[in-house]
A and B are shown apart, each in its own frame.
Chain A
Amino acid sequence: MLLTIERIAKNFGGLAALSDISFGIEPGQIFGLIGPNGAGKTTLFNCLTGVYKPSAGRFTFEDADITGISEPKVAQRGIARTFQNIRLFKEMTVLENVMVGRHCRTASRLWGAITRNRKTRDEEREIRTKAAELLAFVELSGPEDHLAKNLPYGHQRRLEIARALATEPSLLCLDEPAAGMNPQEAGELMAMIRRIRDRGVTVLLIEHHMRVVMGICDRVAVLDGGRLVTAGPPDDVRGDPRVIEAYLGKAPAC
């Protein structure tokens, strides 16, 4: 298992946003996390990536306990994420956004910047090359020097993914990357997610579009009301009456 989630719970005051969530993600998978609004999908992401501390339970990532570690350490460990509402560094250029993503894999500080020693210069060159390569990968090579805030919406999404990939994650968590996209854009995005998986990055994907999820995921977990309904291959999950109930409500007893 790349990531094992064991009995994770998160309470906000008296509200149980997550309770007793357990499942595992194998390396090399595209793993879908679905559920109606308010099911706790994003809360689970936030617990995993250090934004929240879980109230109970354990995350084991690459055989290490990473429960409740800070955000920079999460990035260092190899987990990257994007946000449902895009969070780019708006006043920085497209290339710089990706370059910031290299931060956790590089080391030079103030002293290196003042002395401009060889190590710093080599590192800076490496940051720039890697960032440009990732922009090419997400097909954003043209507008490198534009400010991120001036990109069209779909491009901003791709830039966010490029920045996440720049941290060299083994697990990439995407929070509704297809939100607000038209069917064609969403299709291109799914192709890109497959190419990311083919680079050796495991993908954990929150998505609303059932069709998207079923089309690309190797396994799917369904959350509802902060609880895990079921987890398994898409075909099994699709037919599960509990899943249908979570999405559509209970069938009237007649």
Chain B
Amino acid sequence: MFLQQLINGLTVGAIYSLIALGYTMVYGILEFINFAHGEVYMLGAYLGIIALGLLTQWGAAGWALAPLLVILFAMVWAAAWGGTIERVAYRPLRAAPRLSPLISALGVSIVLQNFVMLTQGARDQVFRRELLFSSDFNACGLSLGACTVSYTQLLIIGTALALMAGLTLFVDRTRMGRAMRATAQDQRMARLCGVDVDTVIRTTFVIGSALGAAAGVMVALYYGVVNFYIGYVAGLKAFIAAVAGGIGSIPGAMLGGLLLGLAESFGAGYLSSQYKDVYAFVILIVVLLVRPQGILGNKRDKV
């Protein structure tokens, strides 16, 4: 039971982490909460379904690389959405009072939800993973004593870890990654070093959206059903994960997401699954009481 809950928690937690990264990266640079981010995740799930549909039509769904194509399609397409949202809804408000982009984000969120509802229908959409994998893959997994780790779970945890490792390398070791960190710490000084802040901000949205979309595809794969409103609760929880981990901190978002997933899973297993959504808020409140800046967050000393 313990091990099973641990695996389940890690799977869901990895997904939360991926979404939380989008919140925390944007906050780190703009000090702004992108409330439309949950909707980008939802878009990702739908884009996964669309990609799967296209592959099926071309008779390529059973191909070994098909899952990779599905996830890449969703990531690239959602990245384009993310970049466009930034350009259209946030950049014009860069100099506006801080509340304005927040309202704009809520607007984008409503627009995206309704856009998907109108174009894809209000009913649940099914992600037919049986088209993607053999029935063996869907039903089986590794057994570790009493618990089973399904191949789907392994795939989700593995992909999420790979994406997070990739992001860490990008931020630590590349020119754009350094420019992102520099911009987050001192925007004016970064500009004086020749950093084009617009490019950095766009890159941040593009990466965050791609990660969110990957999470969307994983959720579709895991639960098999998606709806146009899934972005709301998932976005809220990922936001909680980002805040609990320390908003603005990339490792914090990863840790916060995993912690949240584990809390939900253990809470549902040992206490009551009725209160599943409550655990996230309990964690948030406890963390904020003990350590207001979040587990890995810095106290910001702004000059």
Binding site for B on A (CB under 8 A): 49-51, 70-72, 74-76, 80-81, 83, 85, 87-92, 96, 99-106, 108-110, 112-114, 120, 123-124, 127, 163, 166-167
CA distance in complex: A112, B170 (Å): 11
Q: How many residues of B contact A (CB 8 A)?
A: 28
Question: Is the CB–CB distance between B192 and A49 below 8 Å?
Answer: yes
Find chain A residues with CB under 8 A from B206 CB. 110
Binding site for A on B (CB under 8 A): 170, 173-179, 181-182, 185-186, 188-197, 199, 203, 206-207, 298, 303
Beyond contacts A89-B189, A90-B185, A104-B194: 18 other A-B pairs, Cβ-Cβ < 8 A, are A49-B192, A72-B194, A72-B197, A75-B193, A91-B181, A92-B181, A92-B185, A100-B179, A100-B190, A100-B195, A101-B193, A103-B178, A103-B193, A103-B195, A110-B176, A110-B207, A112-B174, A113-B170
Query: Can you name 22 A-B pairs with beta carbons within 8 Å?
Result: A71-B191, A71-B192, A72-B191, A87-B186, A87-B188, A88-B189, A89-B182, A89-B189, A91-B185, A92-B178, A96-B178, A103-B175, A103-B179, A103-B195, A104-B194, A106-B175, A110-B203, A110-B207, A113-B170, A113-B174, A124-B175, A167-B194
Task: For B199, give the chain A residue with the smallest CB separation.
Answer: A109
Task: For A100, give the chain B residue with the smallest CB separation.
Answer: B182
Given A106-B175, A110-B206, A113-B176, decide whether A92 and B182 contact each other with a Cβ distance below 8 A. Answer: yes
CA distance in complex: A82, B224 (Å): 56
CA distance in complex: A130, B182 (Å): 18
Task: Give the shortest distance, in Å, between A79 (CB) and chain B (any CB).
Answer: 9
Find chain B residues with CB under 8 A from A87 CB. 186, 188-189, 303
Question: Is the CB–CB distance between A71 and B170 below 8 Å?
Answer: no
Find chain A residues with CB under 8 A from B185 CB. 89-92
Question: Is the CB–CB distance between A75 and B176 below 8 Å?
Answer: no
Find chain A residues with CB under 8 A from B182 CB. 89, 92, 100, 103
Interface centre among B173, B186, B193 (most CB of A within 10 A): B193
Our pick among A83, A88, A103, A112 for the contact of B194 (Cβ within 8 Å) is: A103
Given A89-B181, A89-B186, decide whether A72 and B176 contact each other with a Cβ distance below 8 A. Answer: no
Give the top 8 A-B pairs by smallest Cβ distance, nearest first: A104-B194, A71-B191, A75-B194, A113-B174, A100-B182, A103-B194, A87-B189, A89-B185
CA distance in complex: A110, B195 (Å): 14
Our pick among B170, B176, B193 for the contact of A163 (Cβ within 8 Å) is: B193
Question: Is the CB–CB distance between A108 and B174 below 8 Å?
Answer: yes
Find chain A residues with CB under 8 A from B196 CB. 72
CA distance in complex: A76, B176 (Å): 17
Find chain A residues with CB under 8 A from B197 CB. 72
**Secondary structure of the A contact surface, majority rule:** helix
CA distance in complex: A106, B174 (Å): 11
Find chain B residues with CB under 8 A from A163 CB. 193
Task: Give the shortest distance, in Å, between B266 (CB) and chain A (any CB).
Answer: 34
Question: Is the CB–CB distance between A72 and B181 below 8 Å?
Answer: no
Find chain A residues with CB under 8 A from B170 CB. 113-114
CA distance in complex: A167, B195 (Å): 11
Given A87-B186, A92-B181, A123-B175, decide whether A109 and B195 contact each other with a Cβ distance below 8 A. Answer: no
Task: For B173, give the chain A residue with the smallest CB separation.
Answer: A124
Task: For B298, give the chain A residue with the smallest CB separation.
Answer: A91
CA distance in complex: A252, B82 (Å): 69
Find chain A residues with CB under 8 A from B303 CB. 85, 87
Find chain B residues with CB under 8 A from A89 CB. 181-182, 185-186, 189-190
Task: Give the shortest distance, in Å, between A167 (CB) and chain B (any CB).
Answer: 6
